């Protein structure tokens, strides 16, 4: 996968449209093409769970509970919760991703799974005011949103009073770094200013699921800080119950620095000084 800087977008709307084009272009490839190996589609269809073991433990029993998965992509995580008994709804702005999620629900015979095509900003309207016991999101979702206050307000309207929001995301600090080759070895150096409110705009070749994929795409990511996320949740009526950081990540940003730790997760290679790579957070709507 290689990236070069792209011009800044004219507006958030333009950025979101370019992001949508990028996700639409990758969805079929992730579900049934050269990215399916990364997504472990074969193993997952055969029964493997797509969720981290800590996610299952920290969210607790979902049996019989209504769960909304915001930014569900091709539905593999959503349907993993359905296999654990949740009544699931997945929402994503990529039509191709939603088509794949519906296809998987049919293959698995999960008839009551529902997949809705909408942006996060339009989620309340698309779901017609429905409220859920659980909102689940993350694993590369929040960086696509220009305004986490807006996101938290949308989530607050979609979860029942007393219900929970649970997410897993990349530790913000990781997004500031990139490895740099020097004569003395490869070192992480800061490349991105987390205090910059604008997006990081890049033209990329490949996908995290297949770095050799020939597609070229323009993306705009609004990398967030912990304070932005936590204050957005607090300001919109959530009480943070816990956060946990881990030295494992749900994708492999730098293959030369990472190695698999378990299915669907990677960690820094032995010899690297470990630092937090991901976190989970649970918040309750008061
Ligand atoms: C990396 S995926 C996260 C889901 C899951 N972890 C996975 O990999 O299958 C990010 C998803 O966010 C969706 N997305 C990005 N911006 C969005 C927006 N503004 N509204 C709704 N969905 C959005 C994309 O279409 C994509 O499916």
CATH assignment at residue 272: 3.40.50.150
- Do 275 and 173 touch, CB atoms closer than 8 A? yes
Question: In which element (H, E) is residue 2 found?
Answer: strand 2-5
Q: What is the pLDDT of residues 225-238, one digit of tens each?
A: 999 999 999 999 99
Strand pairing class (66-70; 87-92): parallel
For residue 138, report the distance from its CA to the centre of ligand 1, in Å: 8
Residue 32's pLDDT is 97
Residue 204's pLDDT is 85
Residue 2's pLDDT is 77
Q: What is the pLDDT of residues 16-62, one digit of tens each?
A: 999 999 999 999 999 999 999 999 999 999 999 999 999 999 999 99
pTM here? 0.97
Residue 82 CA to residue 44 CA, distance in Å, equals: 13
Residue 215's pLDDT is 82
Residues of the chain with pLDDT under 50: none
For residue 242, report the distance from its CA to the centre of ligand 1, in Å: 24
Residue 18's pLDDT is 97
124 φ, ψ (degrees, to nearest 5):
-60, -45
- Do 201 and 9 touch, CB atoms closer than 8 A? yes
Q: Report how many domains make up the chain.
A: 1
Residue 97 Cβ contacting ligand 1 at under 6 Å: yes
Among candidates 64, 62, 237, which has minimal Cα distance to 77?
62
Question: Cβ-count burial of 98 within 10 angstroms (0-12 exposed, 13-18 middle, 19+ buried)?
Answer: buried
Residue 10 is part of which domain span? 2-285
């Amino acid at each position: 996968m290689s990236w070069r800087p792209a011009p800044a977008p004219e507006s958030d709307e333009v950025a979101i449209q370019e992001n949508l084009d990028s996700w639409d272009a990758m969805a079929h490839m992730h579900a049934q093409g050269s990215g399916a190996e990364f997504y472990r589609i074969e193993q997952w269809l055969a029964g493997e769970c797509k969720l981290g073991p800590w996610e299952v433990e920290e969210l607790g029993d979902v049996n019989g509970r209504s769960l909304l998965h915001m930014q569900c992509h091709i539905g593999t995580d959503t349907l993993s919760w359905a296999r654990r008994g949740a009544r699931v709804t997945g929402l994503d702005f990529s039509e191709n991703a939603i088509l794949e999620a519906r296809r998987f629900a049919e293959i698995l015979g999960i008839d009551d799974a529902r997949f809705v095509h909408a942006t996060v900003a339009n989620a309340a309207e698309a779901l017609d005011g429905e409220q859920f016991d659980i909102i689940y999101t993350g694993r590369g979702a929040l960086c696509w949103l220009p305004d986490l206050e807006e996101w938290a307000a949308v989530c607050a309207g979609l979860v029942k009073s007393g219900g929970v929001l649970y997410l897993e995301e990349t530790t913000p600090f990781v997004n500031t770094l990139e490895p740099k080759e020097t004569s003395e070895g490869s070192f992480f150096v800061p490349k991105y200013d987390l205090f910059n409110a604008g997006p990081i705009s890049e033209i990329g070749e490949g996908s995290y699921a297949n770095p050799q994929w020939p597609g070229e795409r323009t993306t705009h990511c609004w990398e967030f800080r912990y304070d932005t996320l936590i204050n957005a949740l607090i300001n919109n009526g959530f009480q943070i119950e816990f956060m946990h950081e881990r030295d494992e990540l749900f994708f492999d940003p730098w293959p030369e620095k990472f190695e698999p730790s378990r299915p669907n997760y990677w960690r820094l290679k032995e010899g690297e000084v470990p630092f937090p790579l991901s976190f989970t957070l649970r918040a309750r709507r008061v």
